[in-house]
Amino acid sequence: MQEYRTIVEAVCAAPAGRPFVTLWNADETESAVSFGEFRGWAHAQGELFRRRGVKAGERVVLIMPQGVELMAAFMGAMFVGAVPAILAYPNFKVEPAKYRFGLSGVTKNLGARLVIIDEDFPRELLSGVELSGKAELVRSAGPTAGPDICGELVQVDPNNIAFLQHSAGTTGLQKGVALSHAAVLRQIRNLAEVLQLREADCIYSWLPLYHDMGLIACFVLPAVRHLRLIMQSPTDWVLQPSSMIKLMSRHRATLAWLPNFTYQFVARRTELDELGIIDLSCMRAIVNCSEPVKSESMEEFYEAFSGVGLRREALQSSYAMAENVFAVTQSNLDVGPARIRASRDLLSKEHRIRPAPDGSPSVDFLSSGRCLPGNYVKIADDQGQELPDGQVGEILIQSDSLFNGYFNRPDLTTQALRNGWYWSGDCGFVLNDEVFVTGRKSDLIIIAGKNVYPQDVEAILFAHPDIHDGRAVAFGLFNADLGTEDLIAVAEVNQEQDLVRSLAVERELRKAVTAELGVAVRAVYLKPPRWIVKSTAGKPARSATREKLLREQPELAGAGMICATSPGGIVR
């Protein structure tokens, strides 16, 4: 594959007639564009920005529904040398005041020249939004096609910022991850090597384009490597989860990236008898990009679809983050992720990974793979000293595709990038050059010197028949009287009427956690469906859920309890 200087140069090199995006709609119709047609759309969007006075290097914020129009606006901004940033489109559950505050904060921090929204953007979310400087709020005129012209493009330095990622959405002053053309193209080159990309590959995705997994793996990668992309919106997918299987089979897709929850979600909501003839033997890799990846989730997916051609080796894993453009690691496509059954006692007491003796308490880990070319990982203690293999610590990353920093936030950049290493905030370990991720460092719960991983507690809660699978959160609150953290859990029941059994279910959950992990739960709170706060990526947000619970349950702030990660320490 030819090397290119910029993302735009790579997109302009694609044959005009080559198929690019096929978009699946909720009414089960499909619309498709070739690379030539897509460039025409992008050129037209770029001309609109140019007529608005947008200059090279200025930021253009895009808040639009998933689709080719959003993709064309993103690429069109780069066509004129501007720096695009996609923010999450609001859903029906958004809190208007919180959204307005977040949108004002992000656009001010970026010094946005334009904020592009669609015709259906809720007007109430714009009331009171404060933009600074020359910023304009513009409603998109809808899809507009132009000529497939690439000769008039603004020439930019490959080391300049290509675009900004805001994976966390727009609620608050999020960190804009600044990525250069050169870093993005190096990442794609490295990823293409380990994935053994070929011209016939076809990518399937429902992932949102404001998130690094959807933006890079399922838009920029196929755009740069001139591959076919089969796409649907997250909203359409979640209403018809089995459509994912149907589209993979119909279009002979070969690659997909998914968050961990998707595997069980789709497996439990797909009736193969209703889909007609399905064949998943085409899939080379379905990559789990969660931290950590869960073997039981992938096993359930395999059991559901192995009968229609899904190969076990197709279930792969990766460790990825916006600060490294996307992937740091990738599992071996020939054999799949490595697995280890580790001693739970050694992990919780000494942060060490050793095989668990037969019959002893254990925890299973699935590898996220080995480092991509040009990427390096070390496991370090709080002082940055490298730890030996099998010792759990913070994951530090060196890479040829690291970000330029957090846009306009040198304080956060200095904190994250130290001595040439990016401090990820994730915990993990390395064994036999395989990287295993155990979870976020900030989520770790320490009870009387024993480490408790929230996902282990949550998995026990999910197993209860009255708890909605995937809708539970565990966290720690420091108890000043005891000098250690208390374990707190909150979970959604399947149906609101299940709350009549609250006391019995709470007792059962406490008993199960104590039996499995050897720790007592200070409090369990059962909530109705859709109570838990979810991130813009669709995952339960532990920190936001904790803060919501603390507002509703002020008694948690009593009895000397302190929230270890709250501003100022004391919860009031």
Higher local confidence (pLDDT), 189 or 447: 189
Query: What is the C-alpha separation between 88 and 307, in angstroms, rounded?
Result: 37
Cis before 292? omega within 30: yes
pLDDT at 152 over 90: no
Reading the block at residue 344, the tokens are: 């739970």
Same fold: 7-236 with 240-246+260-442: yes
Task: With H, G, I as helix, E, B as strand and everything else as coil, classify residue 484.
Answer: strand
**What pLDDT, in 10s, does the model give residues 25-45?**
988 899 999 999 999 999 999
The whole-number pLDDT of residue 565 equals: 34
The whole-number pLDDT of residue 480 equals: 67
- Comparing 106-120, 141-155, 457-471, the range with the smallest average pLDDT is 141-155
pLDDT at 140 over 80: no
**In one letter, which amino acid is 174?**
Q
Query: What is the C-alpha separation between 117 and 49, in angstroms, rounded?
Result: 13
Domain ranges of the chain: 7-236, 240-246+260-442, 444-562
pLDDT at 192 over 90: yes
Phi then psi for 218, rounded to 5 degrees? -120, 20
Q: How confident is the model at residue 197 (pLDDT cuts 50, 70, 90)?
A: very high
Residue 135 CB coordination number (10 Å):
19
pLDDT at 520 over 50: yes
Which helix or strand (DSSP H or E) is residue 24 part of? strand 19-24
Q: Are 325 and 187 in contact (CB under 8 A)?
A: yes
Q: What is the CATH number of domain 7-236?
A: 3.40.50.980
| Rg (alpha carbons) of the chain, rounded to whole number | 24
Q: How confident is the model at residue 261 (pLDDT cuts 50, 70, 90)?
A: confident
**What pLDDT, in 10s, does the model give residues 269-317?**
999 998 999 999 999 999 999 877 888 889 999 999 999 999 999 999 9
The whole-number pLDDT of residue 75 equals: 96
Identify the CA nearest to 475 among candidates 443, 513, 442.
Answer: 443
Task: With H, G, I as helix, E, B as strand and everything else as coil, classify residue 569.
Answer: coil
pLDDT at 166 over 70: yes
Tell me the pLDDT of the chain averaged across its residues.
88
- Comparing 52-56, 97-101, 179-183, the range with the smallest average pLDDT is 97-101
3-state SS record for 146-202: CCCCCCCCCCCCCCCEEEEECCCCCCCCCCCEEEEHHHHHHHHHHHHHHHCCCCCCE
**What pLDDT, in 10s, does the model give residues 449-467?**
778 888 889 989 988 999 9
Q: What's the average model confidence in pLDDT over 548-554?
A: 84
Higher local confidence (pLDDT), 19 or 167: 19
DSSP state of 492: E
pLDDT at 85 over 80: yes
Phi then psi for 28, rounded to 5 degrees? 70, 15
Label residues 73-112 b or e (16+ Cβ within 10 Å = b).
bbbbbbbbbbbbbbbbbbeeebeeeebbbbbbbbbbbbeb
pLDDT at 52 over 80: yes
Report the share of the chain in percent with pLDDT over 90. Answer: 61
Fold classified for 444-562? GMP Synthetase; Chain A, domain 3 (3.30.300)
Domain 240-246+260-442: CATH class, spelled out: alpha beta
Q: Is 323 exposed, middle or buried (0-12, 13-18, 19+ CB in 10 A)?
A: buried
Q: Are 354 and 346 in contact (CB under 8 A)?
A: yes
**What pLDDT, in 10s, does the model give residues 391-424?**
999 999 999 999 999 999 999 999 999 999 999 9
